[in-house]
Chain A
Amino acid sequence: MSVPARSVPALRAPEPAPPSARPPAARPKPLSPPQRRARRGSTPAFWFLAASVVCALVFAVVALNALVVNTTYRTDDAQDRLRALEEAHEELEIEVARLSSPSRIAAWADAVGMVAPEPGGSVILRVPGEREHPADEG
C-alpha cells in the first residue's frame, strides 16, 4: 500500500527587507573605456615585417630550387656535350687509323704515280731513348 501524500505548506514570499538607515549608495560614474596596454607584435608594422620575411623565405626557397634545377639541366647538358665530344674524339681516332693505314696510303701513292724508294734510299731516324710503348724500357 502506498503512503498517502502529505500536504506541504505553501512557501511564503519573502518579506521585504526593513528600511535601512544608510541612504542607498550613489551609482558610480562610468569609467572611460579601459586603456588597453599595447601587446608586443601586434601592430601592422609587425605583420608587414613578418609577411616580408615569409615572402623572402619563400622566394629564397623557390630561387634555390630553381637554381638547383637549372644547375641540373646545365650539368646534364655538359655531360651530353662531353659524351658527344668523347664519341667524336673516338671517331676521329678511328678515322686517323683508317687514313694512316699503310695499304690505303700505298694505294693512293700508286694512284698519283709515286714509286717506292730504292733499297737504302730512305733512312728512319730515331731519337735516342725514345719509348715506343709503355712496356719498353726508356
Chain B
Amino acid sequence: MLALFMLAFAGIVVRLAFLQVRDNPELEALGMQQRMRTVTLPARRGEIVDRTGVPLAVTREARDVYVDPRYVEDPASEATTIAEVLGLQRREVREALESDGTFAFIDRQVDLETADTLEALALPGIGFLEVPKRYYPAGELAPQVVGFVNIDGAGAAGLESEYDSVLAGTPGERTTELSADGLPISSGIDTAVQPVPGATLHTTIDRQMQYMAQAALERAVRDNGALGGTAVVLDPTTGEVLAMATYPGFDPNEFGEAPAEAMRNRTVTDAFEPGSVNKIITAAAALETGAVTLDRRFRVPSSMEVGRFTIRDSHEHPVESMTIGDIITESSNIGAALIAEQVGSATLGSFMERFGYGERTGIGFPGEASGVLLPADRWDEVIRATVSYGQGISVTPLQMANVYATIANGGRWMQPRLVRGFESPDGAFRTAERQPTRRIIRPDTADVLTSMLAAAVEEGTGVNAQIPGYEVAGKTGTSRKLDADGNYVQRYHASFAGFLPAADPRVVIAVSIDEPRTVYGGLAAAPLFQEIARYAIQRLAIPAAPPVASPPNDAETP
C-alpha cells in the first residue's frame, strides 16, 4: 500500500518536474500570449505646406459613427434623427440600425461638432470611434498636385500618394496584460512604443501664384470655349515649380464627388503634340552644331512637298527669304523643315533627347508621362520635317516648360522640383534630393535663342504676350489633335511658352489650352501667359532688365 502511494507520488513529482522545468518556457510563453494584448497606436500624418509654410493638407480629429444593432430600441425613430444630424439618407441609416451582427458603420470621419451633437442625443446602440481626418484648408487650390487620401488615411493621389511613406510616420504599439475577464491588471505589464508622427512635406508651390494661375487659366478656358487647360510656372534658376494648374479642378475635401478626369495633374500625366513651341529645339540644334549660321538665308514658300505629303505654313505667303531668326519669329513650318534638313535626323533627334523628350523629368509625381519620341533611326524625311515644327512627337506641359527653362538658364538643364524638403517632428529640415544639372547648349547659343524668342514676342506671332516695361521671350504653338484612330482632326491645342525678363530670366511660364474656339496659340494662349506673367512680376518683385540684342533678319541685311 505504501509502495503504491510512493509510486503515485513519484509520478506526480516527475510530472511536476516536466511541467515546471522542461516545459516551463513554452507554457510560460503560452500563458503570456493569452494574457497580453497589443494594440496599434496610429501615427499622426504629416502636413503638406506651401513654400511659405501655409498648410495645404492637415489632419484633424474626427469620429466614425457606428451602431451595435442589439441595443437599438426604435430603429425607425433613431434612423430619422441620425439621418437628419449626419445628412444621410434615412433608408441607409435604418439598414445599418437593423443589420445583423454587433457592429456596423453609419458614417465615417464625421467632424467633431456634428459628432458631439449626435452624441448628446444619447441614442441607444450608437457609438463613436476617434479617427483622424485629412483636411485641405485651401479647398480647390492645387488639388491635382496635393492629391488626397482614401478613407483609411493612406495617400491615394498626388503628393499624398507619392510621399505616403514619409507622411504616414511610424505607428506605435501598446502592450497590456489582461485578466481573465479582459480588464487590465494594474500591477501587470503595461508597455508602450510611442508612434512617430509623419514628416511635414514642404512643396515649392507658392499659394498665391497657384491661385492666380488657376484663376487666369479658368477664365481663359471659359473665354475661349475650350475643354480645359494647363499652366506651369517655374523658377529657371532653381527648377522649383511655383504653380502647376490644371483646369477643370475639384475640391479634395469632396474628392468622392469629383469626375475622374478632373483629378489628373495634366501638366505631368498628359502628353500632347507641342506644335511650334518645339521649333526652338530645331533652332538650338542648328546653331549649336553650326549646321546653320545666323546669316544663312532660306527660300521659304508657304507649302512644300515632303515625300508623299504636303506641309504648309499657317498662312499663305509668297516665297520669302528668311534667316533662322525670321523662321522662329514668323513661326514658319516650312522654314523649320528646311533647317531640320540641314541638321539631319540623328542630330535633331539627339537634341530632343538632350532637352528631355521621351523620358520623365523625375519631378517625383505619380503617373508622370514620358511623352513619345520616335528613335531618330526610324525617322524618314516626313517625320523629320513634322518633328521640326512639333508634330509627330508628344510631350507633357512640364517637359515643354523645362525646355524653355533650360534656355532661360543659359543652356543648363535643371530637374524641375515640386518638393523642397521634409521637416521632421523635431524640427530638423532635410532638403529633397535632386539630379545634378547638365549642360545642353552653350551659353552663347542660349543667348541667341533668347533674342529670337524676344523678337517673336516683339514683332512675331507672340505679340499678345507683351508686357509694357518688360522684355518677354517666348513662342506660340498651335498643334492639331489626333483622334482615337491616330488621325489628325480639325481640333487644336494652343500653347505659349516663354520667360522674362529676357536678359535676366526670373520666371518661366508654359500654358496650353485644349480646343479653344480661337484655335491659335497667339490668340488663345499668349494672353493667358501675359496675365500670369503680370502677377508673377508683382509676386516675385521682378525688376525690368535691359533688352537683348535682336537676331539678324531680313530688314537688317543689306
Query: Is the beta-carbon distance between B61 and A87 smaller than 8 angstroms?
Result: yes
Question: For the complex, what is the distance from the CA of A124 to the CA of B58, rounded to whole Å?
Answer: 29
Chain B, residues 450-494, CB within 8 Å of chain A (1/0): the string is 000000000000000001110000000000000000000000000
Query: Is the beta-carbon distance between A133 and B202 smaller than 8 angstroms?
Result: yes
Q: Which residues of B contact A51 (CB under 8 A)?
A: none
Q: Which residues of A contact B54 (CB under 8 A)?
A: 97, 100
Interface size on A, residues (CB 8 A): 25
Evaluate whether A103 and B53 lie within 8 angstroms (CB atoms) in the complex, with A87-B61, A133-B420 already known: no
Would you call A98 an interface residue if the criterion is a C-beta within 8 Å of the partner chain's C-beta atoms? yes
Q: Which residues of A contact B429 (CB under 8 A)?
A: 134-135
Evaluate whether A102 and B538 lie within 8 angstroms (CB atoms) in the complex, with A97-B55, A135-B429 already known: no
Binds A, one of B3-11, B135-143, B177-185, B376-384: B135-143
Would you call A106 an interface residue if the criterion is a C-beta within 8 Å of the partner chain's C-beta atoms? yes
Would you call B60 an interface residue if the criterion is a C-beta within 8 Å of the partner chain's C-beta atoms? yes
Would you call A104 an interface residue if the criterion is a C-beta within 8 Å of the partner chain's C-beta atoms? yes
Question: For the complex, what is the distance from the CA of A87 to the CA of B59, rounded to whole Å?
Answer: 11
Query: Is the beta-carbon distance between B137 and A124 smaller than 8 angstroms?
Result: no
Q: Which residues of A contact B208 (CB under 8 A)?
A: 102
Which parts of B190-232 form the interface with A (CB within 8 Å)? Answer: 202, 207-208, 211-212, 215
Q: Which residues of B contact A15 (CB under 8 A)?
A: none
Query: Is the beta-carbon distance between B138 and A124 smaller than 8 angstroms?
Result: no
Query: Is the beta-carbon distance between B211 and A103 smaller than 8 angstroms?
Result: yes
Query: Is the beta-carbon distance between A133 and B137 smaller than 8 angstroms?
Result: no
Query: Is the beta-carbon distance between A135 and B421 smaller than 8 angstroms?
Result: yes
Q: Which residues of A contact B541 (CB under 8 A)?
A: 124-126
Q: Which residues of A contact B135 (CB under 8 A)?
A: 94
Question: For the complex, what is the distance from the CA of A97 to the CA of B48, rounded to whole Å?
Answer: 12
Chain B contact residues: over half helix, strand or loop, or mixed? Answer: mixed
Q: Which residues of A contact B517 (CB under 8 A)?
A: none
Query: Is the beta-carbon distance between A93 and B55 smaller than 8 angstroms?
Result: yes
Q: Which residues of B contact A93 (CB under 8 A)?
A: 55, 58
Q: Which residues of B contact A95 (CB under 8 A)?
A: 137
Q: Which residues of B contact A103 (CB under 8 A)?
A: 138-141, 211
Q: Which residues of B contact A126 (CB under 8 A)?
A: 541
Question: For the complex, what is the distance from the CA of A97 to the CA of B51, rounded to whole Å?
Answer: 14
Would you call B22 an interface residue if the criterion is a C-beta within 8 Å of the partner chain's C-beta atoms? no
Closest A residue by C-beta to B535: A119
Question: For the complex, what is the distance from the CA of A37 to the CA of B60, rounded to whole Å?
Answer: 83
Would you call B534 an interface residue if the criterion is a C-beta within 8 Å of the partner chain's C-beta atoms? yes
Evaluate whether A133 and B53 lie within 8 angstroms (CB atoms) in the complex, with A102-B141, A102-B207, A103-B141 already known: yes
Question: For the complex, what is the distance from the CA of A21 to the CA of B384, rounded to whole Å?
Answer: 167
Chain A, residues 98-117, CB within 8 Å of chain B (1/0): the string is 10111110100000000000
Evaluate whether A97 and B421 lie within 8 angstroms (CB atoms) in the complex, with A133-B51, A133-B53 already known: no
Chain B, residues 26-62, CB within 8 Å of chain A (1/0): the string is 0000000000000000000000000111111010110
A5 → chain B, closest Cβ, in Å? 46
B86 → chain A, closest Cβ, in Å? 21
Chain B, residues 533-550, CB within 8 Å of chain A (1/0): the string is 010001101000000000
Query: Is the beta-carbon distance between A124 and B539 smaller than 8 angstroms?
Result: yes
Question: For the complex, what is the distance from the CA of A124 to the CA of B536, rounded to whole Å?
Answer: 11
Would you call B431 an interface residue if the criterion is a C-beta within 8 Å of the partner chain's C-beta atoms? yes
Question: For the complex, what is the distance from the CA of A101 to the CA of B202, rounded to whole Å?
Answer: 17
B58, B135, B202 interface centre (most CB from chain A within 10 Å): B58
Closest B residue by C-beta to A135: B420
Question: For the complex, what is the distance from the CA of A87 to the CA of B208, rounded to whole Å?
Answer: 27
Query: Would you list 7 pairs from A and B whose C-beta atoms are within 8 A, ordered by A residue?
Result: A95-B137, A101-B139, A102-B212, A106-B211, A124-B541, A135-B421, A135-B429
Please list the residues of chain B having a beta carbon within 8 angstroms of any beta carbon in chain A. 51-56, 58, 60-61, 135, 137-141, 202, 207-208, 211-212, 215, 420-421, 423, 429, 431, 467-469, 534, 538-539, 541
The 9 closest A-B pairs by CB, nearest first: A102-B211, A97-B137, A98-B137, A97-B55, A119-B534, A134-B429, A101-B138, A135-B420, A94-B58
Having A91-B60, A94-B60, A94-B137, one finds 11 other A-B pairs with CB under 8 Å, namely: A97-B54, A97-B58, A102-B141, A103-B140, A104-B139, A106-B215, A120-B534, A122-B538, A132-B51, A134-B202, A135-B202
